[in-house]
A and B are shown apart, each in its own frame.
Chain A
Amino acid sequence: DIQMTQSPSSLSASVGDRVTITCRTSQSINNYLNWYQQKPGKAPKLLIYAASTLQSGVPSRFSGSGSGPGFTLTISSLQPEDFATYYCQQSYTSPWTFGQGTKVEIK
């Protein structure tokens, strides 16, 4: 199985900060990398697919980059509604696997 390692596991940031989350994969996955946002008690929401393509309706302050084995999710200017947990996921091969999550908290 492809292992996904996110860093950091958590971070504290202020509104307006630039935030970067990293995801590393145990093998090459081309650009089959997706990012999700999850708020407490809610289902995950797809933010970015194919490493860098913004899902429809997602604000442009979110961006993704990279190619195997390292990928990044960047929030250019953190907004109050962005405090949540973020997951990366590989869709290169079954079993699809997720990173352990990065919790973004208010500083």
Chain B
Amino acid sequence: EVQLVESGGGLVQPGGSLRLSCAASGFTFRNYSMNWVRQAPGKGLEWVSYVSSSGSTLHFADSVKGRFTISRDNAKNSLSLQMNSLRAEDTAVYYCARDSLPVAGGTGAFDIWGQGTMVTVSS
């Protein structure tokens, strides 16, 4: 079964750090670009970050640029999001999402999503 499972969410104080992980299974992870997408409580979807299949190309939303880092370990079929200098507005469910096709650069459509992990930034 093709599956993504996120972990690492929790409660953190403003200015703190958190590292999210996403474990992939059921497909050839190294062939697919991956993304993080978040959803604040009661709000819509916001794309956060992208990493190419090789890990050589990264993209970030302006709202997290300079604070978040995305990485992947293709040997371990895992994706990570390192979140530093967290703010209240980063409070959200964070989803990892697979690009729909194993092509260079990806397609930007997300066909497989994890169940999400909740990050709460509050004192």
Contacts and interface: CB of A to CB of B under 8 A. Distances in A.
A94 B64 CA distance: 14
A78 B35 CA distance: 31
Given A34-B108, A43-B95, A96 B100 contact: no
B62 A43 contact: no
A100 interface: yes
Closest 5 CB pairs of A and B: A91-B108, A43-B113, A49-B109, A96-B47, A98-B45
A83 interface: no
Interface of A: 1, 32, 34, 36, 38, 43-46, 49-50, 55, 87, 89-92, 94-101
Interface of B: 35, 37, 44-47, 50, 59, 61-62, 95, 100, 107-111, 113-116
Contact of B59 (A38, A45, A90, A95): A95
24 contacts: A1-B62, A32-B108, A36-B45, A36-B110, A43-B95, A43-B116, A44-B45, A46-B100, A49-B100, A49-B109, A50-B107, A87-B44, A87-B45, A89-B109, A91-B109, A92-B108, A94-B50, A94-B59, A95-B59, A96-B47, A98-B45, A98-B47, A99-B44, A100-B44
A97 B59 CA distance: 13
A85 to B, nearest CB: 8
Contact of B107 (A49, A87, A94, A98): A49
B61 A95 contact: yes
